[in-house]
Structure formats: structure tokens, C-alpha cells
């Protein structure tokens, strides 16, 4: 898990692992770009090993990404899940993990996605545009922000009186926290089948 903030998506995955939704993979490591991220506490409470790699302290994008790669290699990580990770990863990084990095985006891609569309900005844009349906998309990560192959999507209705904050919460509860664990399980099962030659 790569995280930067509160870790609500991380918590959804921890809960899904406990309840058996995720049973072909195991969350073994949580790397945060922010030493103050509450996600680190969530990981520690669940007995998951943690590490902090600060972009600022690394000095460059290349050094930052290399530090993350070193930890991933050391821990033999097969699948990377971006759970509120607020750093864009370069093509150098993503090309080393083809279809091994998953992200959840709070809209139905290709709407309201790409550079600058994250957090509340996505929901503000959806409300401003006047769409009647939004949702979440889980996709593989490549060198284009929100540009990788789609794994799963779930629609969420926009309701009268929605604010970006209300909509964000509904999209998390009704879409993100459901399809992210399901996608992690699906991809984990596929990776295991590939490894076992099935």
C-alpha cells in the first residue's frame, strides 16, 4: 500500500482482508510519503509493517522512487495499491511494474480524471458540470495519470443538495470501499494463477 493521508481506503482493504473478501493476497507493507499520515497508525494497528519515504527529504523524484523500489524489492512485493497516495509516479517507476499497480479514482473514468483531478476537486467538477451520475473507477497505473486499463467501475447517483464533501463520502461508501477490495482480490488471484502456471 502506498499512502499519504488518512488511510480510509487502506482501512477498507484491511477490513476486506479480515472478512475474507481478499484471500489471494495479503497486505504486508504500508509505505507513506507523509510521516504524519494517519494511515500509518491504521497499518500499525493491523500489524502491518510501515515505512516512510519523504519526497522532500529524498531530494529528487528519482531518489524518492528508487527508495520506494528498494523497499518493495526487499519485501518481495508483487502488487502495489495506491490508497490516497498524493504523488504522481514517473514512467520510469510504472514501467517496472506493468499491471502491478492499482489505483482507485473517485469518478467514472474518462470523466473528471487526469492531472489536477484528485480529492474534492473531482467532486466539485462533477457537481459544477451537472452530471447526474458519478462513481469510482479502479484501474491499473501507467505513465498517464488515470490512464491505465480499467479493472472495475461502480456508479453512484448525485442527489439534490449534494456538496463536494457529501458526494465524496457517498462515493467512498457506495463505490470506492467496495470495488477497491474486489479489484485487489481479482488481480491477486490472477497474479497467483500466472505464477502457478494456470
* CATH code, 157: 3.40.50.170
Domain containing 174 equals: 2-195
pLDDT digits (tens, 9 = 90+) for 57-80: 999 999 999 999 999 999 999 999
Classified as helix, coil or strand, 14 is: helix
pLDDT digits (tens, 9 = 90+) for 73-119: 999 999 999 998 989 899 999 999 999 999 999 999 999 999 889 99
| Contact yes or no for 119/92 (Cβ under 8 A) | no
Given 24, 105, 123, 139, which residue is catalytic?
Answer: 105
- Report the mean per-residue pLDDT for the chain: 95
Instruction: Say whether 123 is catalytic.
Output: no
Provide the number of structural domains found in the chain.
1
Phi, psi of 129, deg, nearest 5:
-75, -25
Supply the pLDDT for residue 196. Answer: 83
Say which residue the cell 467532486 belongs to.
123
Amino acid at each position: 500500500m502506498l499512502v499519504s493521508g488518512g488511510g480510509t481506503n487502506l482501512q477498507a482493504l484491511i477490513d476486506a482482508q479480515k472478512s475474507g473478501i481478499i484471500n489471494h493476497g495479503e497486505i504486508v507493507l504500508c509505505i507513506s510519503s507523509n510521516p504524519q499520515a494517519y494511515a500509518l497508525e491504521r497499518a500499525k494497528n493491523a500489524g502491518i509493517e510501515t515505512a516512510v519515504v519523504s519526497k522532500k527529504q529524498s531530494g529528487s523524484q528519482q531518489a524518492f522512487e528508487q527508495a520506494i523500489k528498494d523497499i518493495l524489492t526487499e519485501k518481495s512485493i508483487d502488487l502495489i495499491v495506491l490508497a490516497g497516495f498524493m504523488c504522481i509516479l514517473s514512467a520510469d517507476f510504472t514501467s517496472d511494474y506493468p499491471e502491478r499497480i492499482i489505483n482507485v479514482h473517485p469518478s467514472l473514468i474518462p470523466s473528471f480524471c487526469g492531472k489536477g483531478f484528485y480529492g474534492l476537486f473531482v467532486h466539485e467538477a462533477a457537481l459544477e458540470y451537472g452530471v447526474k451520475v458519478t462513481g469510482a473507477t479502479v484501474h491499473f497505473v501507467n505513465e498517464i495519470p488515470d490512464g491505465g486499463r480499467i479493472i472495475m467501475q461502480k456508479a453512484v447517483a448525485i442527489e439534490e443538495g449534494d456538496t463536494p464533501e457529501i458526494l465524496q463520502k457517498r462515493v467512498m461508501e457506495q463505490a470506492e470501499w467496495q470495488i477497491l477490495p474486489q479489484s485487489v482480490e481479482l488481480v491477486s488471484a490472477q497474479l497467483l494463477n500466472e505464477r502457478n502456471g494456470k
